[in-house]
Structure 1
Amino acid sequence: MVLPWALAVLSLLPLLEAQSPACANLTAKPITNATLDWLSGRWFYIGSVFLDPAFKQMVQKVQASDFYFTPNLTQDTILFQQYLSIDDHCEYNSSVLWVHRENATLSRYDSGKKFMAQLLLQDFNSTYLLAFSMDDENKRGLSFYANKPEATPEQLEGFREALECKGMDKSEIMYTDWKKVSLTIQKITEPMSW
């Protein structure tokens, strides 16, 4: 009598794991040269949820953002060139990101303060997530990036599942809208050289 019950329970285990593939895929893996090569190029900010009031206020102003990653494999740095549309005007920012390979984080200094984000790769080959302060329930944030200005419904659903997995509310997602952005930022196709 116990054997059939045990077999039935064991046969349901794969279904339990299948309920949340986003959680299973949200583990940071060490950053390799192959990861950095994959990250190289143009990316688009799609949306995010930030619980930190300062970040949330800043992100609410962003209408669209795209940027270029130019990795330096020998120095474990990335040249980060960002184009933003904020409050109907365009801005350009450039900085250096430091790559911390073992714990899969990227860091940068801004106004003397260090900011860190953990790189989370999903099953989709054309998207990734950056996780901020995930140990702090009041300051955590998760942002979503794709290699095109608009994500597919499947990619967006993966982002929403990731938020749920990390204990964040998908109703708080702040999306960009490339359709409302001025043509100036859309015409930028090549990064500036250093």
Structure 2
Amino acid sequence: MVLAWALAVLSLLPLLDAQSPACPNFSVPITNASLDQISGKWYYIGSAYRFPEYKKEAGKIQAGFFYFTPNHTEDTILSREYMTVGDQCLYNSSSVKVHRENGTLVKSENGREHFAHLLLPKDPKTFMLAAFPEDKQLMGLSFFADKPEATAEQMEQFYDYLTCMGMDKSEVMYTDEKKNVCLLLEKQHDEERKKEDKRSETGTALG
């Protein structure tokens, strides 16, 4: 199962210069400030994909959220993903590489490297990942927010980016937080981490 954020990062080809001037720059370098901005918990709001395989996978996701924990020195991001698919919770933890110069995130999966351009709109409480922006037949855009429901203004930013790429809002597949069945597993993981932190603190104190 290709999980929500990874849906946007499959085999992204280099961006061509044919984009409209009104479009965002798909290759803005990633800085420490960029990484800090996308650190924390995010909700998968929706996405639009034209490549059939990705569209099919996106259509299976009923709800999703994840945690990004960037490492500035190693240029990596620890991604912990919780996806509701078929009324079941699927959890995955993986490492994402950061390619700062060309503004991409790279994830290895099943022996392949998958790329996505990181897009940071004006609203710092949202971000997007663009796939195949140069290919009208394959392009895609996924949208994330720090709340399970995005505001009308935030959605408008997403729609503006879609329009710029040549896509329509009618192509968007949305998630539904009411179908989220991962909260119990998230709570369990949180409790386990707290216990591990306490053990680590105790070990340090004894040492």
Q: Identity rate of aligned residues, in percent?
A: 48
Q: Secondary structure at the match of 2:69?
A: strand
Q: How many residues align structurally?
A: 171
Whether 1:43 aligns to 2:51 is no
Amino acid at match of 1:49: A
* Equivalent position of 1:110 in the other structure: 109
The alpha-carbon distance between structure 1 residues 157 and 186, as it changes in their structure 2 partners (threshold 3 A), is: farther
Whether the aligned pair in 1 keeps the contact of 2:68 and 2:78 (CA below 8 Å) is yes
Whether the aligned pair in 2 keeps the contact of 1:30 and 1:102 (CA below 8 Å) is yes
* Equivalent position of 1:73 in the other structure: 72
Q: Displacement of 1:186 after TM fit?
A: 6.9
Q: 1:185 aligns with which of 172, 183, 194?
A: 183
Alignment of 1:3-152 (within 5 A): 24=22, 26-28=24-26, 29-152=28-151
Whether the aligned pair in 1 keeps the contact of 2:37 and 2:124 (CA below 8 Å) is no
TM normalised by structure 1 equals 0.82
Q: Displacement of 1:73 after TM fit?
A: 0.6
TM normalised by structure 2 equals 0.77
- Give the distance between the partners of 2:115 and 2:162, measured in 1 at CA: 18
Whether the aligned pair in 1 keeps the contact of 2:62 and 2:85 (CA below 8 Å) is yes
* Structure whose alpha-carbon radius of gyration is higher: 1
Q: Which runs of 5+ in 2 are unaligned?
A: 1-20, 197-207
- Give the distance between the partners of 1:60 and 1:156, measured in 2 at CA: 19
Whether the aligned pair in 2 keeps the contact of 1:84 and 1:185 (CA below 8 Å) is no
Whether the aligned pair in 1 keeps the contact of 2:87 and 2:179 (CA below 8 Å) is no
Amino acid at match of 1:94: S
* TM-superposition CA deviations, 1:137-192 (whole Å, max 9, x none): 2111100000110000111111111101110121010000002333x437736767
Whether the aligned pair in 1 keeps the contact of 2:84 and 2:179 (CA below 8 Å) is no
